[in-house]
Structure 1
Amino acid sequence: MGGWDIRVSYLCLCICLHCCIQSRAILDPLDFLALQSIRKSLKDVAGSNFFQSWDFTSDPCNFPGVYCDSDKVIALNLGDPRAGSPGLTGRIDPAIGKLSSLAEFTIVPGRVMGKIPDTISQLSNLRFFAVSRNFLTGEIPPGFGELRSLHTLDLSYNQLTGTIPRPLGSLPVLSNLILCHNHLAGSLPPFLSNTLTRVDLMHNNLTGSLEPDSLPPSVQYLSLGWNKLSGPVYTLLPKLNRLNYLDLSMNQFTGLIPCHIFTFPISNLQLQRNQFFGPVLLVEPVTIATIDLSYNRLSGRVSPMLSTVQNLFLNNNRFMGSVPRDFVDRLMDATIQTLYLQHNYLTGFQINPTAEIPLSSVLCLQYNCMVPPAQSACPLKAGDEKTRPTAQCNEWRG
């Protein structure tokens, strides 16, 4: 090979080496120091080895759970994601706010405790923040409301207190808000995002009413059960016509149940243990698989349009009259799997006393204004009395 060829080959090799070096950028010093601080504030629970390979003499972008773009950290997924892993313990260090390009932050279930740092407000690119099933305490930092790119916030199953920061409601692209199983109080702020699809605030201490502008029509999953919410829902719910799951159970909601919601594409409707009253008026068969309206103050006759429901709980209300024949037919052909009608004021159920209810179906008629012509196993809390006292039935009819 001639001298010229050698020089050309050497030049090409130098260019290739330069390109390789350039493509493997050194991590930004601020990000490097922030990762060190985050690492010092967290450690593995016994049985976890997640941090074992976090050796800061090597490139942090190669650490498990660290994802980089050029010289910046863009995602931190801390802890072994496999189900049943022991998780991490410690606290979230305020240095997290120094990761200026961070778009995603998660910690697996474990024993991480303490407050969420206020420095979270500095993460202007943050889209996804999920620290569920840990022991976080204190309030949700209002700074989350400054993160205009935030798509998902999951702080479920912690010990958070205080209120839901009102600025969260103004986030433009928020899609998933999951704050269930905490100790949050106060009212629900209005949410404006037209991309909001999932709202899970179950098992908190929320109070107040649901205003007509509380939630946008985009919501598909709404779980507000086990709170102390009150007031009517007939002004808000009809607007949420994309709902496929609705749980308002264990609250203090009042008023009529809007008939519109029975036509929504819902698979599971949970409205039990509230103070809803009045009749349930329907004009077409219901296609919802499970409906629980138990422990309310609903009255009037049982609509035959509900006979198409697979699991129906109407117990502990004030329904009266004879149950439509449609229920008997669908119970006997096992289309209905659960039919709870106990503790009402019903006067008839047109079934042959010798009929054998399918083993896959459950019927309870206990404590109505009739002797149950047939029934299978009732829940223990239905009590031992088969029939409601005559005086109560006469008073109700009167």
Structure 2
Amino acid sequence: MAKKCSLLMLAFVLYLIHCRSTIAQVQNNISAIDLEALHQIKNTLIDIRTTTSLHFFSSWDFDSGDPCLSFAGVTCSSSEQPRRVESLVLGTGLSDSPGLAGTLSPFIANLTELSQLVLFAGIVTGTIPSQLGSLRKLRVLSLTNNHLTGTIPASIFALPDLHTVDFSHNYLSGTIPPTISASTQLKVLLLADNKISGQLPRGFPQQLLHLDFSQNNISSMLPPRMPASLRYLSASQNRMWGPLNCLESIPELVYLDLSMNNFSGGLPTSLFQPKLTSMLLQRNNLSGGLPPLSPYPYGPGSIIDLSHNFLTGEITGVLVGVESLFLNNNQLTGTVPKEYFGSLSAGKTKTLYLQHNYITGFQTAAGSSWPPWDSVAVCLSYNCMEVPVVVGKMACPSSIGEQISRPAYQCSAFHNRNTTSKEKEDYIN
């Protein structure tokens, strides 16, 4: 019996030696520096525990697993020995996952072959480690939808291959580092919904395609020369001011949102071009009139919102065919060209808001009638005209007690004021 127990004990010891040898052999496949960095990363981050979602770190078993084969979010080089971590994605990114908590370890910077670092939505706090500026091969840096604080490390914009930076939806403060202008490969910069303030850098990378710093506290003019390559620009809900002349140098722009700021001056004629199918400039201090250009072939999904400004003059035909058009709450006058009625009838324009102006009429095609009220959203209330019964206030935002048309004295006073101003201008000229 004693001999049998001794044999069993020997077999168990040999098994432990074999297991340790196997683990050592597996973990020798990955760089010791990278392995230690992964240890430190796990030590500073934790899963937010729930009973319904998968736990991200459940696969990070340093006692028996191969980090390059079994660790969730870890991708290693295939040929280099020992293998190096090339991509690190922290969190599952699944809709039912609450994400991770904790802080980002500066040991991430020891993963010197890293080309992609992604942190999915969670409640990770603390600052962005400045040491990330030493990751010379980093191309994608996405740390969105967490509770990160502090400033944006200026060192990251010196990385030679950096393509995408997404720090949106955090609590970052300070300014956008001026070093960004020296970034040679950056194409996407997302900083929306933070607490960034102060002035914008004097320039952005000239190869930038996508720029979003909306929902911050930036008080600045736009740089005098914006990247000509830009296709998407959003700076809404800041405290920005000044004219929009710098936008004339962006011929490839497809999406523009500068709403809810204090921009002033006229509308650059160059904004009215076929590629720019989303132009959101509402709630600013823009003045002047619409350019007297021929209509462009705006298509489905196009939206232009110039509402809540100080635009004057008559409505020109430049915006005929826009699917959703908002010109309400301005100081527009005259009659609406019949081409807008034709666009409504043809089903090209589905939303047309012109309320709260000084419009005196809406031209319709001879022998035609308004499209059914349930097929379009048209609001013409509070103008200097009799609103057609078929549209009435059916699509207008509710305003209790508001008259359908402006009181006559307001229309008369506005007309007389503008006539006097015009006569003075003609006399001076």
Q: Normalised by the size of structure 2, how large is the TM-score?
A: 0.83
Change (3 A) 1:22 1:191: farther
Q: What percent identity do the matched residue pairs reach?
A: 39
The reply to whether residue 45 of structure 1 matches residue 58 of structure 2 is no
Partner of 1:250: 260
Q: 1:35 aligns with which of 16, 35, 38?
A: 38
The correspondence of residues 220-259 of structure 1 with structure 2, limited to 5 A, is 220-234=231-245, 236-259=246-269
Distance 1:344 1:377, change over 3 A: same
CA contact (8 A) 1:242 1:264 kept: no
Choose 287-296 or 222-231, whichever is displaced more: 287-296
In structure 2, C-alpha distance between the alignment counterparts of 1:24 and 1:136, rounded to whole Å: 32
Q: Is the 8 A contact 1:93 1:117 kept in 2?
A: yes
Deviation per residue, 1:1-54 (Å, 9 max, x gap) = xxxxxxxxxxxxxxxxxxxx9999632222111111001101111133111121
Deviation for aligned residue 1:381: 4.7
Which of residues 319, 332, 336 in structure 2 aligns to 1:323?
336
Do 1:134 and 1:157's aligned partners in 2 also have CA atoms closer than 8 Å? yes
Structure-2 separation of matches of 1:72 and 1:307: 57
Quote the offset at 1:82 in angstroms. 2.5
Residue in structure 2 matching 1:391, options 409, 413, 419: 409
CA distance in 2: counterparts of 1:61 and 1:279, whole angstroms: 61
Report matched runs for 1:370-381 at 5 Å.
370-374=385-389, 375=391, 376-381=394-399
Q: Which runs of 5+ in 1 are unaligned?
A: 1-20
**Which has the higher mean CA deviation after the structures are superposed, 223-232 or 377-386?**
377-386
Comparing 378-387 and 322-331, the one that deviates more: 378-387
SS at match of 1:392: helix
Count of residues in correspondence between the two structures = 376
Shift of 1:129: 0.5
Q: 1:110 aligns with which of 118, 122, 138?
A: 122
| Pick aligned residue for 2:224 from 212, 218, 235 | 212
Aligned residues of 1:285 and 1:308 also touching (Cα < 8 A): yes
Contact 1:238 1:258 in 2 (8 A): yes
CA distance in structure 1 between the partners assigned to 2:229 and 2:399 by the alignment: 39
CA apart distance, 1:331: 1.9
Tell me the equivalent position of 1:7.
none
Whether contact under 8 Å (2:278, 2:304) holds in the other structure is yes
Partner of 2:66: 59
Contact 1:117 1:141 in 2 (8 A): yes
CA distance in 1, matches of 2:411, 2:259: 28
Post-superposition shift, 1:350?
3.2
**Which one-letter code corresponds to 2:40 in the other structure?**
S
Q: Residue type matched to 1:282 in 2?
A: P
Separation (CA, whole Å) in 2 of partners of 1:287 and 1:163: 40
Could you tell me whether the CA contact under 8 Å between 1:208 and 1:229 is conserved in 2?
yes
The TM-score with structure 1 as length reference comes to 0.89
| Residue 332 of structure 1 pairs with residue 345 of structure 2 | yes
Instruction: Name the residue aligned to 1:5.
Output: none
Separation in 2 of the partners of 1:107 and 1:132?
7
Contact 2:26 2:66 in 1 (8 A): no
Task: Tell me if structure 1 keeps the 8 A contact 2:158–2:182.
Answer: no
Measure, in 2, the Cα distance between the counterparts of 1:355 and 1:209: 43
